[in-house]
Amino acid sequence: MHKLIQGLGVGIGASLGVCARLALTLWLGDSALPILGINIVGAFLMGWLRPNAFWGTGFLGGFTTFSAMMLNDASFYFFTASGCILAWLAGDRLAK
C-alpha cells in the first residue's frame, strides 16, 4: 500500500511540474532557450534541495523535459547535458 501511495504522490507531483513548465513556456516561449533554462533550473533544484519522491521524481521530473530537448538539435544535446550536470553540481555544493 505504501508503494501505491508513493506512486500516486509522484504522479501528482509530475502533473504539477508539467503544468509549471507549460505556464513558463507559454510565458517565455517554447523555443530551445527557455526549455534549456527550465532544464538547468530543474537540475539545480534537484542538486540543491535533494527532494523526496514527490518533489524530485514527480514535480522536477515533470518540470524538466530532457527527452524532448535532446531531439530538437544536436548542439543543444551538449548544452542540456553539460549545463544540467554543472547546475546539479552547483546545487549540490550549495546544499553542503
Residues of the chain falling short of pLDDT 50: none
Question: What are the grid coordinates assigned to 89, written together?
Answer: 553540481
Residue with cell 509530475: 14
pLDDT tens digit sequence for 38-62: 999 999 999 999 999 999 999 999 9
For the chain, how many structural domains are there in total? 1
Q: For position 25, what pLDDT does the model report?
A: 92
Q: For position 75, what pLDDT does the model report?
A: 76
Instruction: For the beta carbon of residue 47, count every other beta carbon within 10 angstroms.
Output: 20
CB of 79 within 8 A of CB of 32?
no
Residue with cell 551538449: 78
- Enclosing domain of residue 90: 2-95
Q: Which residues are annotated as a binding site for Na(+)?
A: 61, 64
Residue with cell 554543472: 86
How far apart are the C-alpha atoms of 87 and 41, rounded to whole Å? 7
Taking the complete model, does pTM exceed 0.95, yes or no? no
How far apart are the C-alpha atoms of 29 and 69, rounded to whole Å? 14
